[in-house]
Structure 1
Amino acid sequence: MSEDFGLLEPADQPGDEWEKLDVSDTEADRIARRQDREFDEFRKRIKDTEQFKLQESVFDDATLAAVYKLVQDGYVDAFGGPVSTGKEASVFEALGGQAGERPEPGSEAAGGGPEGVTPEREVAVKVYRINSSNFRQMRDYLEGDPRFDGIASDKKAVVLAWTRKEFANLERARKAGVRVPEPIAVQRNVLVMELVGHAEERARRLSEVDIENPETAYEVVREYMRRLYGAGLIHGDLSEYNMIIHDGELVVIDMGQAVTIHHPNAGEFLDRDCENVATFFTRQGIDVDPDDLRAYVTEPDADPSGEPASGGKTESNAEPDGKSTGASDEA
């Protein structure tokens, strides 16, 4: 297939990634406890709908309350069927409503329209399962993240924090000029975001396509890794399975596990990302060294030719698990 792999222009300098995220009870939690008459009717209607009959493990009462709140707030008008189903989360297609301030007018998630999300615009609704999510693995990525200091240790608190973390990571990545699905709204364990592709014809993973221009694709991937690092983030699970191709664009997905560069395991996660990317593109016929890629990613003023200026380390840009980085701790 033919691809352009054009790079996005950074929209803005990312804000303060160390701002603590609010994971306290939401209106959806209060609705779930109150279970008013309208919510009871909504719950029956959803569970009676054909595409949700086999989704009982996903749509418990508290999750239904979160979806109900998103519908009330105008972020979702109607649900379609599942796009993907995994152990920890399921993604559904939906029609976006006329809601609030997100996404920005004219953006991808707004369908290019002037008034926010148009009713015809398809969105993705990602629902994390609280009972079956990998609680211990999630904690490994959350512990050490300054945004979640003091988070409770129970499974519900961890999954709710994870959902907000993915939303915040998507916002930050987009501001840094990384092509990711645009986040639209988050409520409890439910995330609404741009649907890249269509449910009937989903965007294909990088692992599934025949790349005609692997050199160009690699240049985009390494630049996105560098921009993420400059914004204070490391993907943590980057591979050909977490990048998709749609309309000639390379899109990075699954940002839930992305960590800040001060996470205690940041260096390990970055090494793994570099190894995965180097291994994939080496199979595509490009000579990619993971150490060179790491140097490029961590070099604040990387040479477009791909050669790091001084081995990728300067006084202002130490290793991810060091004390000094190229990303400021202050907004």
Structure 2
Amino acid sequence: MTEEYGLLEVDADEPVGDEWENIDVADTEADRIARKQDREFLEFRKRIKDTEQFKVEASVFDDATLGALYKLVQDGYIDAFGGPISTGKEANVYTALGPDSEIAVKVYRINASDFRQMRDYLDGDPRFEGIGSDKKKVVVAWTKKEFANLKRAQRAGVRVPEPIAIERNVLVMEYLGGENRRAKRLSEVDVENPKTAFEVVREYMRRLYRAGLVHGDLSEYNIVVHDGELCLLDLGQAITVNHPNSREFLERDCHNVAAFFARQGFNADETALLDAVTEPEPDPTGDAGREA
């Protein structure tokens, strides 16, 4: 792999996001569609459940989730569904055809097996206070959290899948990959320029931190190579820097990243990486520390 991994440019005038943005977990149009059960929705539900790629994942697609997919189709975000990209304990990701290009559709399971782990990331995040223990609300909050985190990361100049739309527990975003093949993870490629790749990942971690976010689960398994760029995935668990566990999660991210690149032959030090990520942003006026 010989890519140079160019960094995204940052628009200095673009705000990175509101640290205290509230997340609404009230019922959405998808819930109302599922309750109404009109003829068009019933036809859509039958058509989806009869397709081969969804038959084996029937437990993922309860009526409200199908209502969310139906609403996204009606709103013009999805034209046709493709096959699965990945399946996991918390979510399945599928390809789909959007109005302009291929897209990815991430469906979070309401009955997620990692429900308690989700709570560990949500508890202490000021955006999610007062959600309680309602499983549906937690998963909807998690989905909206990933959408909000992707938007904030993108504004901060971090290469992530572009968030397109969200409905209940379904997230529509940019598809990273080519025809019939998703983008490869760093764990799946031969990194010929580990120093350059490490510097890009370090800079994206630094930009995330300055945007008020810590990835929280960063490793070679959720960094992919797409069109010569390194892209960070899976920001659902990303937390604000005000989260009580943010330092612990950031230290773990630094350990994982440094350990991977050390295995690639680049002498990456996790302490130096942590210092670089958390280094205060320089005062643009040059007056820091001066008295007025």
Q: Give the TM-score taking structure 1 as reference length.
A: 0.83
Q: Write the distance in 2 (CA, Å) between the matches of 1:67 and 1:155.
A: 20
Partner-residue secondary structure (3-state), 1:210: coil
Report the Cα offset of residue 22 of structure 1.
1.2
Partner-residue secondary structure (3-state), 1:169: helix
1:111-144 CA-to-partner distances (Å, cap 9, x unmatched) read xxxxxxx1xx000000011113411000000001
Which of residues 86, 106, 114 in structure 2 aligns to 1:134?
114
**Cα gap change, 1:48/1:34 in structure 2, threshold over 3 Å: closer, same or farther?**
same
Report the Cα offset of residue 199 of structure 1.
6.0
Partner-residue secondary structure (3-state), 2:17: coil
One-letter amino acid matched to 2:129: D
Partner-residue secondary structure (3-state), 2:182: coil
Which of residues 228, 232, 246 in structure 1 aligns to 2:226?
246
Matched, 1:195 2:175: yes
Report the Cα offset of residue 79 of structure 1.
0.3
Q: Write the distance in 1 (CA, Å) between the matches of 2:83 and 2:250.
A: 35
Q: How does 1:304-319 map to 2 (within 5 A)?
A: none
Report the Cα offset of residue 285 of structure 1.
1.4
Q: How does 1:59-78 map to 2 (within 5 A)?
A: 59-78=61-80
Q: Write the distance in 2 (CA, Å) between the matches of 1:141 and 1:87.
A: 16
Query: What are structure 1's unaligned runs of at least 5 residues?
Result: 98-117, 303-313, 316-331
Report the Cα offset of residue 225 of structure 1.
0.3
Report the Cα offset of residue 178 of structure 1.
0.2
One-letter amino acid matched to 2:88: G
Partner-residue secondary structure (3-state), 1:57: helix
Q: Write the distance in 2 (CA, Å) between the matches of 1:235 and 1:27.
A: 30
Report the Cα offset of residue 62 of structure 1.
0.9
> What is aligned with 1:109?
none
Q: How does 1:23-102 map to 2 (within 5 A)?
A: 23-97=25-99
Query: What are structure 2's unaligned runs of at least 5 residues?
Result: 283-287
Report the Cα offset of residue 35 of structure 1.
1.1
Q: Write the distance in 1 (CA, Å) between the matches of 2:257 and 2:20.
A: 28
Matched, 1:230 2:201: no
Matched, 1:125 2:105: yes
One-letter amino acid matched to 1:183: P
> What is aligned with 1:324?
none
Q: Residues 204 and 246 of structure 1 are in contact (CA less than 8 Å); yes or no, is this contact kept in structure 2?
A: yes
Q: After superposing the two structures, state which structure 1 stretch, 44-53 or 234-243, moved more.
A: 44-53
1:221-247 CA-to-partner distances (Å, cap 9, x unmatched) read 000000000000000000111100111
One-letter amino acid matched to 1:140: D
Q: Write the distance in 2 (CA, Å) between the matches of 1:24 and 1:238.
A: 30
Partner-residue secondary structure (3-state), 1:251: strand
Q: Write the distance in 2 (CA, Å) between the matches of 1:212 and 1:206.
A: 11
Q: Residues 233 and 260 of structure 1 are in contact (CA less than 8 Å); yes or no, is this contact kept in structure 2?
A: yes
Q: Residues 83 and 199 of structure 1 are in contact (CA less than 8 Å); yes or no, is this contact kept in structure 2?
A: no
**Cα gap change, 1:252/1:155 in structure 2, threshold over 3 Å: closer, same or farther?**
same
Partner-residue secondary structure (3-state), 1:244: strand
Q: Residues 93 and 199 of structure 1 are in contact (CA less than 8 Å); yes or no, is this contact kept in structure 2?
A: no
Q: Write the distance in 2 (CA, Å) between the matches of 1:10 and 1:58.
A: 38
Q: Give the TM-score taking structure 2 as reference length.
A: 0.94
One-letter amino acid matched to 2:17: G
Q: Residues 133 and 159 of structure 1 are in contact (CA less than 8 Å); yes or no, is this contact kept in structure 2?
A: no
Q: Write the distance in 2 (CA, Å) between the matches of 1:138 and 1:9.
A: 32
> What is aligned with 1:327?
none
Partner-residue secondary structure (3-state), 2:7: coil
Partner-residue secondary structure (3-state), 2:58: coil
1:68-114 CA-to-partner distances (Å, cap 9, x unmatched) read 000011111110111111121110100113xxxxxxxxxxxxxxxxx
Q: Write the distance in 1 (CA, Å) between the matches of 2:252 and 2:72.
A: 36
CA RMSD after TM alignment: 1.4
One-letter amino acid matched to 1:65: G
Report the Cα offset of residue 18 of structure 1.
1.2
> What is aligned with 1:18?
20
Q: Write the distance in 1 (CA, Å) between the matches of 2:179 and 2:23.
A: 31
Q: Write the distance in 1 (CA, Å) between the matches of 2:17 and 2:263.
A: 37
Report the Cα offset of residue 259 of structure 1.
0.1
Partner-residue secondary structure (3-state), 2:59: coil
Which of residues 120, 123, 127 in structure 2 aligns to 1:147?
127
Aligned length: 282
Q: Residues 123 and 192 of structure 1 are in contact (CA less than 8 Å); yes or no, is this contact kept in structure 2?
A: yes
Q: Write the distance in 1 (CA, Å) between the matches of 2:73 and 2:140.
A: 19
Q: Write the distance in 2 (CA, Å) between the matches of 1:283 and 1:46.
A: 44
Q: Write the distance in 1 (CA, Å) between the matches of 2:113 and 2:15.
A: 33
One-letter amino acid matched to 2:81: F
Q: Residues 229 and 297 of structure 1 are in contact (CA less than 8 Å); yes or no, is this contact kept in structure 2?
A: yes
Partner-residue secondary structure (3-state), 2:178: coil
> What is aligned with 2:285?
none
* Structure 1: 4+ residue segments shifted above 4 A: none
